[in-house]
Each structure stands twice: as C-alpha cells, then as structure tokens.
Amino acid sequence: MKFSWPKPLHGWRAFFGEVGVVLIGVLLALGAQQVADDIHWNTQTAEAREALKAELDHDLGTMTFRVAEQDCVDRRLNAVDSWVASWRAGRPITLTDDIHGISFYHVRSSVWDIVKSGQTAAQMPLDDQLDYARLYDVLMNLDRFQAQELDAWGTLNEFNGAHQLSDADLRLIHKQVLSIRSMSGNYVVNLHGLAETAARLGLKPDTLEMPDSAAQARFCGNILPAVAGVAR
C-alpha cells in the first residue's frame, strides 16, 4: 500500500507563507505585551520611588529634628544632675519648673511595607533595594530608641514638684538621665552614617516645624533657682 504525505491546498510555498504570517503576528503580540509590561513596571517603580522619597524625607527629618534638640536636652539633663546632687549633699534645691521633655515626630514605614510586600521592589536594582532596607532598618531602630527616651522623660516628670526624694528615687532619676544620654549618642552617630546612603537615593531630610513652640521654650529654659549658681 502506497502512503502519501498530505499536501497543502495551495502548495507548500503558500503554506509556509501563512505560517510565517502567524509567527510574526505572535512575535509582534509578545513584543507589544513586553513593551506594555515594561511601561507598566517603569510607571509603578517611579511612583513607588516618589512615595518612598516622601516617606524617607520625613523620617530623616524626624531624626534631624531630634538631633537639633540635643543642646536643650543636655542643658535639661545637667539641671537634673545638679538637682540630684543637691539632694545627695543634704542641701536640696527646688526646681523652678517641671522637667518636661523632648518634642518628637514618629518615623513612618507604611509605604515601604506596601512596596516590599508586592512585586514593585523586585523591579528595582538590588543595590537600591538594599539601600532602602538599610535606611528603614536603622530609622525604625532609632524610632524605638525615641520611644524608650520618651518613657525615660515620663519617669523623670513623675518627680515634678517632689518635696521628698529617697535614695531609691535618686538612683532611679540618675538611671533615666544616663539612659537618655546613651540614646542621644545613637541619633547623631546613626544619622551621620545614613547620609551617604540617603544621598545615593536622592533623599533630603524634611524641615519639620516645632509642634509646640511654647513647650519647647520651657524645655530649653533654665529650671534651676538662682541660688544654685547656674546662669539663666
């Protein structure tokens, strides 16, 4: 029995021409889809970078804001040290105002949480992903320090107007002062260390306004009485 291969109705040349047209159409469709995908991800990435910049500019601004308060922090802690020393010397002085504490802004991370949980971050160069991750890690850690510092200031303010301080009270006050001093150093060192990374990503700390200028003025003022021998 003789077997014959089926032949195209209009010949092999026409057949291959039709196949070629189909293949070209498929390739064009795939290419168009790739272009559309590239445009989509470029747009998504650009929008993500813009949102991350806004969030990180604010976050860097929070730490810059805190560092700018350091002179007032040092003066207030020195006053508390003098107050504690007067009690230990048996010649207790009375503070002229409450101890108060720092003004602050919290670090934000909601944009980063959204970006890293989706596919947008994966479209960025690895070096950029690592830079963003490092910035947020350090800034969130500093925000935790700031929360601990606020707790320490809160503890100090529990002694506002105190007329009696026990040895345990004095030790607790001194402990809070040491804690705040220790955390204060972290802000300066870490913010300086982030400067190069921030510059690579085109970031610039926001200039944040003082939430309560009157409260800040009281915090930066002197709370030791004139008899303490400290200039106002």
Given a contact cutoff of 8 angstroms between Cβ atoms, the answer to whether 79 and 224 are in contact is yes
Lowest-pLDDT range, 41-45, 94-98, 144-148? Answer: 41-45
Give CA–CA dist 232/230, Å, rounded.
6
Quick one: pLDDT band at residue 229, thresholds 50, 70, 90?
A: very low
14 falls in which pLDDT band (50, 70, 90)?
low
Q: What is the pLDDT of residue 38?
A: 54
Can you tell me the distance from the alpha carbon of 30 to that of 24, in angstroms, rounded to the nearest whole number?
10
- 3-class DSSP assignment, residue 100: coil
CA distance 160 to 94: 10
What is Dmax (Cα atoms) for the chain? 126
Residues 180, 182, 183, 184: what is their CA dihedral angle, to the nearest 10 degrees?
80
20-78: pLDDT as tens digits? 666 676 666 666 555 545 555 567 888 999 999 999 999 999 999 999 999 999 999 99
- Angle, alpha carbons 59-63-67 (nearest 5°): 165
Separation of alpha carbons 76 and 176, rounded Å: 12
- Which among 158, 143, 165 is positioned nearest to 101, based on CA atoms? 158
Give the per-residue pLDDT at 119.
83
Residues 6+ apart with CB under 8 A from 29: none
pTM score of the predicted model: 0.78
- pLDDT recorded at residue 222: 94
- pLDDT tens per residue, range 173-202: 999 999 999 999 889 899 888 999 999 999
Exposure string (b/e) for 75-111, b if CB count within 10 Å is 16 or more? bbbebbebbbebbeeeeebebeeebbbbbbbebbbeb
Contact 60, 108 (CB under 8 A): no
Q: How far apart are CA 120 and CA 33, in angstroms?
A: 18
